Amino acid sequence: MSQKPAAVLVVDDDVDICRNVSDILTDLNFLVDVAHDGPSALEMVRRRPYDLALLDLKMPGMDGLTLYRELRKLRAEIVAIVITAFAGPETVNEALAAGAWRVLPKPVDIHHLLSLTQEVLEQPLVLVIDNDSDLCHMLWHALREKGYRVALATDIPSAEEKLKDHTFRVVLIDLKLPADNPKELFQLVRLTNPEARTLLITGQDSDMGLTIQGALTEGVDAVCYKPFDVQTLISTVQKLTQAPLASDSPVSSSEPSPAQPSDSAPPTHAPEDHA
Amino acid sequence: MNPEEIIERYRDLQRYVGWNDDTPHRIQTIAPLLLPLIPQLVEDFYCEIQRHPATKRVITGGASQVERLRGTLEHWLRELLSGQYDQAYVIRRWRVGLRHVEIGLDQVFTNAALSRLRSGLARGLVDRWTGEAAELLLHLAALHQVLDLDLAIIEDAYQAEYAARLQRTERLATLGQIAGGIAHELRNPLNVIKTSIYFLLHAKNITPEKRVEHLQRIERQVNLSDEVITALTNFARMPVPTCTPFDVVACLREILEHTTALKVYDVIMDFPSVAPWALGDASQMRIVFDNLIRNAREAMLPGGQLTLAVSGVGDRVEVAVSDTGDGIDENQVSQVMEPLYSTKTRGLGLGLAIARSIVEKNQGTIRVASKKGQGTTFTVSLRAVPPPSGGASS
């Protein structure tokens, strides 16, 4: 699978160190952007997606942690490594509680940083499409803890954007989304992320029965009913990511499940116009 | 203090209390009446010590230590009554004060214990005295003088040692702070150097331009590290100034000419046509003005207004450096010239502390006035001298 180069955002008010990290990563074929303060970093994040952000904690104006909190609202899938010369336990805990992945003491050992960067890129990307932002954040933390990179979309347009920007391993879809036609959303996933496995989250609303059936015939890989047990959901995601990418045997969650869509099309069965 | 200074101190105090050649003779006269009291005074002394937690606490060696201390006290009392107040006598008193700091015995207990001994001696003397009352009063006065001098020299030693220890502790704390500050300030440039070297060693595609860029960056960061160390040595070892008359206005103009970073600010020079010269070390004062100007600049966004004003005020010449930055929080104004105080994300926090230290060594003063949201003014006041004849300042 040929992948587009990973994008890294380096934010530090020390111009020289930014340039050096940028040169080293660029030489390793990363796309690197550099910002020297929080507001310009946020502007960059608004403009394009990143996989990883290296954030200096102590910067004039907006500090690295405040920056990360803002950045996460824009692109939750960005993994943050916070870098600080003052890595007291309180700072570390605060940063980790805010969702930063690692807190590294300054000066950062470049070998260590490169191996962490590699590790980040190996974390499977998961997209959660759900208009319930509380549920989104709960799932974000739960999945993040298990080593997934998690993108969030609370509406269809942002879901479309995420699907175009990234290659996801699993896409979680809450059917309560006010979509005109959920079928279109699945088709979009197929079109943009043909190798992604899909997991449907739904209430046991009988009105939705038909829609679910429709979705299943579209090739949904698993279904989770609300209220769901987070652990069960996570292990379902784990099964989906562990299963071979082109597998045609759907994984079922341990929740009461509808009839197995045994005759459903395999995920690779994408619409003809797929590029 | 060395032994000569200690003995000189004692002699000076003797004169102060009105000591005369008669005093030792009076002590020798009453000594036979008082020497038999010693065992009883020693006994009472150590009983009392046991009653107070603060004094009991310092006896850590049990009965054998108390036995030794009894001997010491007895010896001390015999010396007190000997009438021989030579250098060795004074030094031994001095050592008592030092020892009390070592074992952590507060001076107030020395005062109290001596008061107790004094009462015991005075009562004993009154009880046994058979001569004239007037003579008794004079003997008692001599006894008090000897005791007061003992107490004074013990307390003097205590205070000197206590202050010295405090200073050592503070110096260690400051050293720790400075070490932390330096570690931080050196780490940044070292990290840049290290990553540049990593790039030069490992990168697969280096253009000649990139190679030069990284080498220049390494050079710049080495210079930065050097500046950190220079700032520190400046602070630690500022030489004694050579104070000569110098032209403050010319000094300021020269600094402005060499400070290219000021281009983006609005610089106002408020210099009188004939300004007094200042008495000071021009090269050291340059460091001060340099620091103040840099500080003002760093407090402002580009476009801010930097004002340099020189004026003669009585026999002083004053240089005011004002910025239109954010000002200093009221509760921080008093701290800004303390060493290692900094609100900046970079810097050791030595600039203003160095400025103050230099100004004071040049017999000047420095003060700060600040209004939140309006700006800050640092004013340096130096001794003024008239400009050389025919010399309007340049």
Q: Is the pLDDT of residue B21 over 80?
A: yes
Q: Is the pLDDT of residue B235 over 70?
A: no
In this prediction, residue A145 has a pLDDT band, given cuts at 50, 70 and 90, of very high
Instruction: Write out the two tokens for A149.
Output: 């990179």
Contact B192 A14 (CB under 8 A): yes
Task: Output B259 or A17, whichever has higher pLDDT.
Answer: A17
> Which spans in chain B are helix H?
3-17, 22-34, 38-51, 53-56, 62-80, 87-103, 107-128, 133-202, 208-236, 248-258, 282-298, 351-361
Say what percent of chain B tops pLDDT 70.
93
Which tens digits make up the pLDDT trace of A111-134? 999 999 999 999 999 999 988 888
Task: Output B361 or B75, whichever has higher pLDDT.
Answer: B75
- Closest Cα in chain A, distance from residue B352 (Å): 20
For B384, how many CA atoms within 13 A lie in the half-sphere containing its CB? 18
Q: Is the pLDDT of residue B390 over 60?
A: no
How far is B257 from B44, CA to CA, in rounded Å? Answer: 78
Greatest alpha-carbon pair distance for chain B in Å reads 109
Does the CB of B221 have a partner CB in chain A at under 8 Å?
A: yes
| pTM for the model | 0.60
Say what percent of chain A tops pLDDT 90.
47
Mean pLDDT along residues A40-56: 95
Q: Is the pLDDT of residue A207 over 60?
A: no
**At a CB cut-off of 8 Å and minimum separation 6, what does A4 contact?**
none
Mean pLDDT along residues B340-357: 69
Q: What is the pLDDT of residue A98?
A: 92
Place of tokens 């996933």: A189
Q: What is the pLDDT of residue B299?
A: 84
DSSP B338: S
Mean pLDDT along residues A20-38: 95
How far is B367 from A28, CA to CA, in rounded Å? Answer: 54
- Closest Cα in chain B, distance from residue A85 (Å): 7
Which tens digits make up the pLDDT trace of B169-202? 877 776 776 677 677 778 888 989 999 999 999 9
Selection from B106, B117, B94 nearest residue B8 by Cα = B94
How far is B206 from B204, CA to CA, in rounded Å? Answer: 6
Mean pLDDT along residues A217-241: 82
How far is B168 from A46, CA to CA, in rounded Å? Answer: 55
Q: What is the pLDDT of residue A177?
A: 62
Q: Is the pLDDT of residue A205 over 60?
A: no
How far is B350 from B233, CA to CA, in rounded Å? Answer: 11
Instruction: Write out the two tokens for B232.
Output: 């520190």
Evaluate whether B315 touches B364 at the Cβ level (below 8 Å): no
Mean pLDDT along residues A169-184: 74
User: Is the omega angle on the peptide bond into residue A107 within 30 degrees of 0, that is, cis?
Assistant: yes
Mean pLDDT along residues B11-32: 94
Residue-averaged pLDDT of chain A: 81
DSSP result, chain A: ---PPPEEEEE-S-HHHHHHHHHHHHHTT-EEEEESSHHHHHHHHHHS--SEEEEES--SSS-HHHHHHHHHHH-TT-EEEEEES---HHHHHHHHHTT-SEEEESSPPHHHHHHHHHHHHHSPEEEEE-S-HHHHHHHHHHHHHTT-EEEEESSHHHHHHHHHH---SEEEEETTS--S-HHHHHHHHHHH-TT-EEEEEE---GGGHHHHHHHHHTT--EEEESS--HHHHHHHHHHHHHS-TT--S----SS---S--TTSPPTT---TT--
Give residue B230's identity as a one-letter amino acid code: T
Q: What is the pLDDT of residue A255?
A: 42
How far is B36 from B43, CA to CA, in rounded Å? Answer: 13
Give residue A236's identity as a one-letter amino acid code: T
Mean pLDDT along residues B103-115: 93
In this prediction, residue A247 has a pLDDT band, given cuts at 50, 70 and 90, of very low
How many CB pairs below 8 Å do chains A and B form together? 53
Evaluate whether B121 touches B34 at the Cβ level (below 8 Å): yes
In this prediction, residue B329 has a pLDDT band, given cuts at 50, 70 and 90, of confident
Selection from A61, A108, A66, A100 nearest residue A83 by Cα = A108
Which tens digits make up the pLDDT trace of B87-100? 999 999 999 999 99
Contact A16 B214 (CB under 8 A): no
Q: What is the pLDDT of residue B346?
A: 57
Evaluate whether A87 touches A96 at the Cβ level (below 8 Å): no
Is B224 strand, coil or helix? helix
Q: Is the pLDDT of residue B11 over 90?
A: yes
Contact A107 B191 (CB under 8 A): yes
Mean pLDDT along residues A191-199: 89
* Mutation for testing the B interface, residue in A17, A57, A84, A111 having most B CBs under 10 Å: A17
Q: Chain A neighbours among B 12-51 (CB < 8 Å)?
A: none
User: Is the omega angle on the peptide bond into residue A227 within 30 degrees of 0, that is, cis?
Assistant: yes
Mean pLDDT along residues B153-181: 83
Does the CB of B311 have a partner CB in chain A at under 8 Å?
A: no
> What's domain B3-170's superfamily in CATH?
Globins (1.10.490.10)
| Residue B278 dihedral angles phi and psi, to the nearest 5° | -110, 155
Residue-averaged pLDDT of chain B: 88
**Residue among A14, A17, A27 whose CB faces B203 most closely:** A27
Q: Is the pLDDT of residue A57 over 60?
A: yes
Least confident of A179-193, B235-249, B272-286: A179-193
Evaluate whether A3 touches B335 at the Cβ level (below 8 Å): no
> Does the domain formed by B244-385 have CATH 3.30.565.10?
yes
**Residue among B184, B198, B217 whose CB faces A85 most closely:** B184
Segment holding B270, helix H or strand E: strand B266-270
* Interface list for chain A against chain B, based on CB atoms closer than 8 Å: 13-14, 16-17, 19-21, 23-24, 27, 58-60, 85, 106-108, 110
Q: What is the pLDDT of residue A74?
A: 94
How far is A250 from B115, CA to CA, in rounded Å? Answer: 96
Mean pLDDT along residues B320-331: 88
Mean pLDDT along residues B288-301: 87
Contact A20 B188 (CB under 8 A): no
In this prediction, residue B351 has a pLDDT band, given cuts at 50, 70 and 90, of confident
In this prediction, residue A82 has a pLDDT band, given cuts at 50, 70 and 90, of very high
How far is A128 from A135, CA to CA, in rounded Å? Answer: 10
How far is B28 from B39, CA to CA, in rounded Å? Answer: 19
- Distance between terminal CA atoms of chain A? 14
Domain boundaries, chain B: 3-170, 244-385
Cα–Cα distances (Å) from A150 to A127, A171, B275, in that order, read: 6, 10, 69
How far is B286 from A165, CA to CA, in rounded Å? Answer: 58
Evaluate whether B350 touches B340 at the Cβ level (below 8 Å): yes
Burial class, B36, CB count within 10 angstroms (exposed 0-12 / middle 13-18 / buried 19+): exposed
Q: Which residues of B177-207 are buried (b: 16+ CB within 10 A; e: fewer)?
A: ebeebbebbebbbbbbbbbbebbeeebeebe
Highest mean pLDDT among A21-35, A99-113, B292-306, B324-338: A21-35
